[in-house]
A and B are shown apart, each in its own frame.
Chain A
Amino acid sequence: MANIKKLQDLRTELRTTLGFTEIAREKYVDPLITSTHSPFKVANAPMKEVFVNAVALGYYNKYRIPLEGKMDRNIRNNVFSTNDLSLFLTIAATEESFEVISDMAQISTIMEEYANGGIQPLYKMIFEIDGDPIYTFREKFDNLLTDLMEE
């Protein structure tokens, strides 16, 4: 007879550390967490926030990059909140099948693939689009913001 699990139990079943490919880490992640122009610099756990946002943006763009080359994994699984986990499980369950939520190793890979797909657009949004990233965000996702508020 199996034990009933909780989200925090699943957190420990994620890969011990998660991250980006070494190339993505150097090219996009490092500037996002160190530059004074980046919103992530003010976050409590900048690298983790970059990861979660990159996952979401990757999923939103339906852009999931298979992991190739050397990985640079240094986000420990215990920094993810239960909300982050819920988000990961929801994305995985939608992307794969509902049953995937019992396989946290696969979920770790799916999230890393989305994060690697979403990191470049995130970088562009913050650094390369002319103007203030806040204005860019507001302008780019105005419909989503309105829709969500109207629900």
Chain B
Amino acid sequence: MEEGWIIEIIREWDIDVNLQDLIQNLFGFQENMEMSQKKKTENSRNYIEKYFDQDKVRKIDTIPELTTDIIDIAAEKSRSPYRFVELEVENFRQFYGIQTVALRTGESNRINVIEGENGSGKTNFLNAITWCLFEKEYDTSSEIKETSPFNIHKLEQLDENEIGIMRVKLTFDRKSGQKVQFVRKSEFIRKGNESRKKGKTDFDCYTTNSINDPLKPYPQADAKVRQIIPPEIHRFFFFDAEHVTRFFEPGNESEVHSAIQEVARFNTLDKLMTTIERVKTRFAAKKTGLPEDKEIEELTAKIDDYTDKIERYKDLILKLREQKRINDQNLSRKQTELKQSGYKQVELLQKEKEGKQNELTSKNNRINEINEQLKKHLFNIMPILLTNDIFEPIIDKIDNKYEAGELPPNIRPQFVRSLLERKKCICNRPLESNEQIEALRQLGNIDDLSELEGVLIEIRSNLQNMTENVKEEISEFLELFDKIVNARESYRQTNEVIDDLNKKLERIDHANIQSIQSSITKLERNKTNIEIDLSRTRSDLEKAERDRQIDERNLDKLLKGQNKRKKINQLRDLCDNLVELLQALYDKLMEHIRTNLANKSTNYFKILAWKEDFKQNAVIEISENYAFDLKIGVRSMMIDLSAGEKQIVAISFIAALTWISGFEAPIIIDSPLNRISESHRKNIAESLPNFLEGSQLMLLVTPDEYTSDVSSILGDHVSNYYHLSYDTNTSTTTLRRI
């Protein structure tokens, strides 16, 4: 189970496959030892947002139930344990030269036995494995840890400064045919009687998925190790049976708890929830300043109002145009009627009126023309007009600076520079003393303000010119203004003349003419009113359209903000949801694992125990606060257990832990029978082949443990049996296959 048990459970759980993918990715970041917390949070945030943006995940309303069935299915799903195939050790500690240990086992003979006297190198055999996988030696005394692991015998054969190789190659396989090989290699250089490590340790991994294919390099060796057995839980797979009873010492409940946490990778789960909380805070940080729905509603209502207004104005313009068309038609008809009336006086008055009307049009054009010119003057005049009162004080200030000598007009810095270069005084005499040179230099030293000497001169001159120019412009403006006033007056007068002509026409002593003229006057007045209304409505329409445009732009911005806010809220909800989901998983798993661990430990214990009462009735319990107990009925048996029995309880518990972990690495037990009385060793030996279903088992034993009785009982179940032979003369251990 390469991704671990939790991921397998999530895969079995009835949640969306995309959500499963997301959690798997987040879990992957959290497990990555090389990634900083900041990077984990950043990657998690990006992934949550990416899945959200791609519409892959949304908040789930009801978290589906996580049943024990799902957990069991997940746990059982892909049991295909990794098995040692071969170990090759080169110059590691007391293992001189290259020594190869065949470790392949069969289905019915899953046990390897490495036997040696105390001090023959059993622990370092185990260390060769942990060094290869994790670059660490766990079970060494501090005295040994401080010494170089390079083989002493080999070192003695090296010349000064010569390089020697230390290497461990470990090969695993699985029933499926998959093969994985790890090679860790260090170089050591001889310096006097010591070996010093040279450079970094190389760590390579090779894999193949089929037994028939050659091994190929796999780039992420550390990741591959983690798939087989994460370093933080390896102590439950490779352990010294003499030291495992610590779990049951009173007050060590937290050891049990943390062991469960570690193997079930609950720490990762716990940290992942914290990371998601952090991601949520990051989404929240962006939330401030985003619009509320109310603002959008208000603005939308305002835009709707403008739209209604615009529609009304447009309708009104259409109506006014229609009115104008009808009015013009009627006017033209009445004017024709008047023309065709046959009265000479009417004809004359009408001609005069037409002339005046043309005059009126041209006067109106003139007014518009002057108005355009005035407009141009307006924005040229206004800035100077409104600020002119400060021009004079500034000019005075600049003049004062001149008078104070702060703006030396005749001695410019360039001039001073050239004098200094030529070593001449202002009076053209040669500079003779240092005092003279210094005096001239000081004259040329100018402060920031005098650096702006040219600017001040320009400002002074510009202000004066601007005042003069604006006077000319104002004068033109006033002239034009008078012209426009006159033009308007003239326009008004012409209009009056037209009114008079209309009246004259109305006064003609003929009922029909009077009626026609009265209609014409009315229609002409209508025409003017309609035109004023049209112009005003067009202006209103223009303003409403402009205002609507502004608000539409604002609404667009608000909507973008609202979408952002909505998205952020949804992402926050999603984070809550993920935490809720993982918390449900955590709670359920913790409860289930505790129960299951107790059951599994009981089963293993029953296999290993030799007392009939234990085999039949023993029950291991792990309480809610992780206290460990072995009971027969209601009676607690822990205190009465012998040292050997306690040891098998411990071994059973650890074996159950490895099962719970979901990782399927081989199990190595150092000194499994040391504490067991001689009479019961045979019992254990009989039980061992049934122990740890499916897992490969390696026993590191002393000859005292591995008696002839034990050997003959285990015989058929042991695939490889090696004897460690230590040579005190060369301080080397040789592995001999028995």
| Docked pose: A4 CA to B413 CA in angstroms | 8
Judge whether A26 and B554 touch: CB under 8 Å.
Answer: yes
In the complex with contacts A40-B379, A60-B387, A138-B455 CB distance below 8 A: no
Of B81-89, B209-217, B389-397, B600-608, the one contacting chain A is B389-397
CB of B242 within 8 A of chain A?
A: no
Is A134 a contact partner of B484 (Cβ separation < 8 A)?
yes
Q: Is B427 an interface residue (CB 8 A)?
A: no
Nearest-Cβ distance from residue A124 to partner chain B, whole angstroms: 13
Q: Counting CB contacts under 8 A, is A52 at the interface?
A: yes
- Other-chain contact of A30, B393, B394, B413, B550 (Cβ < 8 Å): B550
A91 near B: Cβ within 8 Å?
Answer: yes
Chain B CB count within 10 A is highest, among A55, A83, A101, A151, for A83
Given A98-B397, A145-B474, A90 contacting B446 (CB threshold 8 A): no
Contact of A5 with B455 in the complex, beta carbons under 8 Å: yes
Interface centre among B382, B449, B465 (most CB of A within 10 A): B382
In the assembled complex, the CB of B457 is this many whole angstroms from the nearest CB of chain A, namely 9
Residue of A with least CB distance to B456: A101
Interface string of B462-483 (1 = CB under 8 A from A): 1101110011001100100100
Residues of chain B within 8 A of A127, CB atoms compared: 543
- The answer to whether A5 and B452 touch (CB under 8 A), given A138-B481, A145-B474, is yes
CA distance A56 to B453 in the complex (A): 25
User: Contact between A4 and B379 (Cβ–Cβ < 8 Å)?
Assistant: no
A1-B417 in contact given A39-B378, A101-B455 (Cβ < 8 Å): yes
Q: What's the Cα separation between A123 and B378 when bound, in Å?
A: 14
Residues of B close to A35: CB separation below 8 A: 542, 546
The answer, yes or no, to whether B539 is at the interface (CB within 8 Å) is yes
Cα separation A7 to B446 with both chains bound (whole Å)? 18
Do B387 and A134 touch across chains, with their CB atoms under 8 A apart? Answer: no
Specify which chain B residues have a CB less than 8 angstroms from the CB of A83 in the assembled complex. Answer: 462, 465-466
Q: Which of B56-64, B126-134, B306-314, B369-377 contacts A (4 or more CB under 8 A)?
A: B369-377
Return chain B residues, CB-CB under 8 Å to A87: 383-384, 387, 466
Contact B390 A2 (CB under 8 A): no
Cβ-defined contact, A26 with B553, below 8 A: yes
Which chain B residues in 433-459 approach chain A with CB under 8 Å?
A: 444-446, 448-456, 458-459
| CB <8 Å contact, A90 and B371 | no
- Decide yes or no: A90 and B452 within 8 Å by CB, A57-B382, A57-B386, A145-B478 being known contacts: no
Please name the residue on chain B nearest to A99 by beta carbon: B449
B642 at the interface (CB under 8 A from A): no
Verify A39–B463 contact, CB threshold 8 A: no
User: Which B residues lie within 8 Å of A94 (CB)?
Assistant: 390, 393-394
With A5-B452, A148-B385: A134-B376 Cβ-Cβ less than 8 Å: no
B contact residues around A43 at 8 Å (CB): 376, 379
Tell me if B522 is interfacial: C-beta within 8 Å of chain A.
no
Is B412 close to A, CB under 8 A? yes
Given contacts A2-B451, A26-B553, contact A90 B379 (CB under 8 A): no
Contact A144 B386, beta carbon cutoff 8 Å: yes
Question: What are 17 A-B pairs with beta-carbon distances under 8 A?
Answer: A4-B453, A7-B458, A7-B462, A35-B542, A49-B379, A86-B466, A87-B384, A94-B390, A132-B371, A133-B375, A133-B378, A134-B375, A137-B382, A144-B385, A145-B478, A148-B385, A148-B388
Taking A36-B542, A132-B371 as known contacts, 6 extra A-B pairs with beta carbons closer than 8 A to each other, sorted by chain A number, are A4-B454, A26-B554, A53-B379, A90-B459, A102-B451, A145-B474
The 4 closest A-B pairs by CB, nearest first: A39-B375, A56-B383, A86-B462, A60-B386
Taking beta carbons and an 8 Å cutoff, which residues of A are in contact with B? Answer: 1-7, 9-10, 26-27, 30-31, 34-37, 39-40, 42-43, 49, 52-53, 55-57, 59-60, 82-84, 86-87, 89-91, 93-94, 98-99, 101-102, 127, 132-134, 137-138, 141, 144-145, 148-149, 151
Residues of B near any A CB (own CB < 8 A): 371-372, 374-376, 378-379, 382-388, 390-391, 393-394, 397, 412-414, 416-417, 444-446, 448-456, 458-459, 462-463, 465-467, 470-471, 474-475, 478, 481, 484, 539, 542-543, 546, 550, 553-554
